[in-house]
Amino acid sequence: MVEITALKQQITDCRLCAERFAQTRTAHGPRPVVWFEQGARLLVAGQAPGLRVHESGKPFTDPSGDRLRDWLGLSAAEFYDTRRVAIVPMAFCFPGYDARKADLPPPRICGATWHGQVMAALPDVRLRVLVGGHAQRYHLGTRDGVTQVVRNWRSLAPKVFALPHPSWRNTAWLKRNPWFETELLPVLRARVKEILT
Ligand code: SF4
């Protein structure tokens, strides 16, 4: 079994992307946000920390996090309980901004280096919540777009739920796809409650 404390320390110390991040507009250094413990039953697989999370050092401490907790039906205390919930993005560090001030994609090297080891260290995960296209492509091996993957949610449940990113940028998507809130979310909340209690 992977020794989880050592693995967490290795990720915390990781500087593989230092040169890449130094060349972004924010010229920041790596700050891996590592948030998982042995025994977690719910995996939240996201994209990468944004700038606010880079500064706080805690995942989803932003409006996207508020929306995601609402989607899952979890309080902040429940969501941040590492004994039950593991939050493992496809990159552990903020990747920087592109020219339109949107977040750059997670560096591939992060998922390739760490994700398999983290998943091997979390054998008790019963439900994987895949937030956004990067996590969906990694975990499902799909090349389909987010809308198509999320629309097919019944073929993935109850072990996997694919979600759009909870960013404000997807508010129009939510309006165009009302079934997401009326059909998918009630089933997701019931499943989260089931595996965490
Ligand atoms: S994004 Fe991942 S691979 Fe890159 S420095 Fe951070 S922890 Fe290391």
Cβ(113) – ligand 1 distance below 6 Å: yes
Of 195, 194, 183, 196, which Cα lies nearest the Cα of 71?
Answer: 183
Q: What is the mean pLDDT of residues 103-132?
A: 97
State mean pLDDT over 18-40.
Answer: 97
Question: Band of the pLDDT at 50, cuts 50, 70, 90?
Answer: very high
Give the CA diameter of the chain.
Answer: 45
User: pLDDT band at residue 31, thresholds of 50, 70 and 90?
Assistant: very high
Tell me the residue type at 37: E
pLDDT tens digits, 125-163: 999 999 999 999 999 999 999 999 999 999 999 999 999
The Cα–Cα gap between 96 and 104 comes to 6
* Tally of structural domains, the chain: 1
Mean pLDDT of 24-40: 97
Rounded to an integer, the average pLDDT of 5-22 is 98
| Mean pLDDT of the residues in the chain | 96
Would you state the pLDDT for residue 2? Answer: 57
Contacts with 186 (C-beta within 8 Å, 6 or more apart), sequence order: none
Segment 51-104, tens digit of pLDDT: 999 999 999 999 999 999 999 999 999 999 999 999 999 999 999 999 888 899
CB contact burial 105-142 (16+ within 10 A = b; e otherwise): ebbeebbebbbeebbebbeebebbbbbbbbbbbbbeeb
E strands present in the chain: 42-45, 85-87, 127-131, 160-163
Ligand 1 centre and the CA of 180: distance in Å? Answer: 32
Centroid of ligand 1 to alpha carbon of 102 (angstroms): 19
* Atom 6 (ligand 1) nearest CA: 93
* Helix, coil or strand: residue 35: strand
Ligand 1 site-directed mutation target among 7, 23, 93, most atoms within 8 Å of CB: 93
| DSSP assignments along 145-176, one per residue | -HHHHHHTHHHHTTTEEEE---SGGGHHHHHH
Domain of residue 106, residue span = 4-196
Measure the CA–CA gap between 127 and 144, rounded to whole angstroms: 21
pLDDT at 101: 87
Task: Please indicate whether residue 91, judged by its CB atom, sits closer than 6 Å to ligand 1.
Answer: yes
Task: Kindly tell me if the per-residue pLDDT of 1 is higher than 60.
Answer: no
CATH number at 189 reads: 3.40.470.10
Q: Which residue has the tokens 């706080």?
A: 56
pLDDT recorded at residue 150: 98
Q: Is the CB of 107 under 6 A from ligand 1?
A: yes
Atom of ligand 1 nearest to the CA of 11: 7
Band (46; pLDDT cuts 50, 70, 90): very high
By CB atoms closer than 10 A (0-12, 13-18, 19+), residue 165 is buried
| Stated length of the chain | 197
The proportion of the chain whose per-residue pLDDT surpasses 70, expressed as a percent, equals: 99
Distance CA 197, CA 179 (A): 27
pTM, two decimal places: 0.95
